[in-house]
Amino acid sequence: MFKYLWGEVLKGVLRNKCANTLLLFICLFSITPLFASDPTLTQKKPIRIGITSVILDQKQQFLETWKAYFEARLNQPVEFVQRDSYGKITSHLLKGELDFGWICGYPYVQHQSLLNLVATPLFKGKPLYQSYLIVAKTDTETHSINDLKNTVFAYSDPDSNSGYLYAQYSLRKNDINPESFFSQTFFTWQHENTVEAVAVGLAKAGQIDSYIWESMKQQNNPFIKKTRIAHKSEPFGFPPLVATKTISPQLQKSIQHILLSMRNNAQGRRLLEQLNIDGFKITNKELYDDILKMHLFIEKQKHAAS
């Protein structure tokens, strides 16, 4: 059962790292009346957590556990809001329709004045991850994105650092226009889909989140076996859990406390293990400066071109 949950959760996380992270963090904050003994719990306003749809579609049981975990500690109901892209989650956060969201570093740096950093997951002991350029295992000639001229390329999500921004930046810093460099590009909307697109030959290559790729590999995902990493980026800040500026500092602190203390109890460790992360850490916005720089570089180029 434990193994199943772990696998299921991990698979969900892999689909969209930022959204997954958001979802899981939001879970941590959630308290619903389902498992609470306090009858007043149902009368309180639920904490709304934005996540990507994929996770909730397939990981309902895991999320119920997380809800129970957080609701028991917050004495407040939790509500998950599922959407199918980073963009929609970010949009809901900005409109105040969500309290928390697990988003990618790229939308965070674009809207950091409107969002608070709550916590950052620790992957392999650090709050960092990379962007991988992946190709089919049979492709032994590609070693960088520059080798992919006139090919079909798969991006994960236009609001993803590792699945879009970094690829754009890699080309543009070499004065290559990504719009004309590839013969075809498309978005798969989830990192896991990018792996499939490359594995089945729909795209020659794709750019994805290292955390997703490594976790899929750990799961012996069949698509991963058909791909290889052609290039790894420098490390970036791991997708954070963010909160809107409108939530109370007390609630944010409570959430931070619960997240940071997860490593200290068995249930929390089990949930962390299922997420394939080591824990959470409070980080500052400077962790995402590299992503911000890439964003600004591209914006500048686009502006210059227009």
Partner 1 sequence: MLLRNLSFRYKLPFCIILASTLTASVAIMVVSWQYYQDNKQALIQHSHELGGSMVDMLSWSVKNNDIWHAYTLLRGDKKNALSTPIRALILLDNQKTVFASNHPNEFPVGATLSDIATGPNQYLNNALKIFDTHKETTLSTDKHLISALPVTSSGISYGSLLIIDSYDSIVALFKKTSLLALFVVLLTICALIPVAWLWGKHITNPLLSLESCISKVGKVPFDEIQCATTYDNDEIGQLGRQFESMVSELKKKSELENQIIRADRLATAGTLAAGVAHEINNPLAGMLMAVDTYKQYCRSEDCHHRDQARASIDLVERGLAQIKETVSALLVNVNAKDKPLTPIEIEDVFTLVMPKTHNKSITFEWNNGIHNTINISASPVRQVLINLLLNAIEATAPNGSISSHIHTEKNTLIITIKNDGDEMTAEQLEHLFEPFYTTKQSGNGLGLWVTYQIVRNLGGSISVGRIGTWTIFDIILPITSKDITE
Asked if 261 is part of the footprint of partner 1 (rule: CB under 8 A), the reply reads no
Residue 200 phi, psi dihedral angles, 5° rounding: -90, -10
Residue 139: count other Cβ atoms within 10 Å of its Cβ: 18
Q: Is 146 helix (H, G, I), strand (E, B) or coil?
A: helix
Asked if 202 is part of the footprint of partner 1 (rule: CB under 8 A), the reply reads yes
Residue 64: count other Cβ atoms within 10 Å of its Cβ: 15
Of 70, 169, 187, 280, the residue at the interface with partner 1 (CB under 8 A) is: 187
| Residue 117 Cβ vs partner 1, minimum distance, rounded to whole Å | 31
CA distance 87 to 240: 15
Asked if 297 is part of the footprint of partner 1 (rule: CB under 8 A), the reply reads no
Residue 226: count other Cβ atoms within 10 Å of its Cβ: 17
Asked if 223 is part of the footprint of partner 1 (rule: CB under 8 A), the reply reads yes
Tell me the longest C-alpha to C-alpha distance in the chain: 63
| CB-nearer residue toward partner 1: 98 or 154 | 154
| Residue 296 Cβ vs partner 1, minimum distance, rounded to whole Å | 27
| Residue 267 Cβ vs partner 1, minimum distance, rounded to whole Å | 31
In one letter, which amino acid is 104? C
Asked if 183 is part of the footprint of partner 1 (rule: CB under 8 A), the reply reads yes
Binding mask 136-155 for partner 1 (x = CB under 8 A): ----------------x-x-
Asked if 197 is part of the footprint of partner 1 (rule: CB under 8 A), the reply reads yes
Token pair recorded at residue 129: 């991850």
CA distance 123 to 133: 19
Residues that bind partner 1 (CB under 8 A): 152, 154, 183-184, 186-189, 193, 196-197, 199-203, 222-223, 226
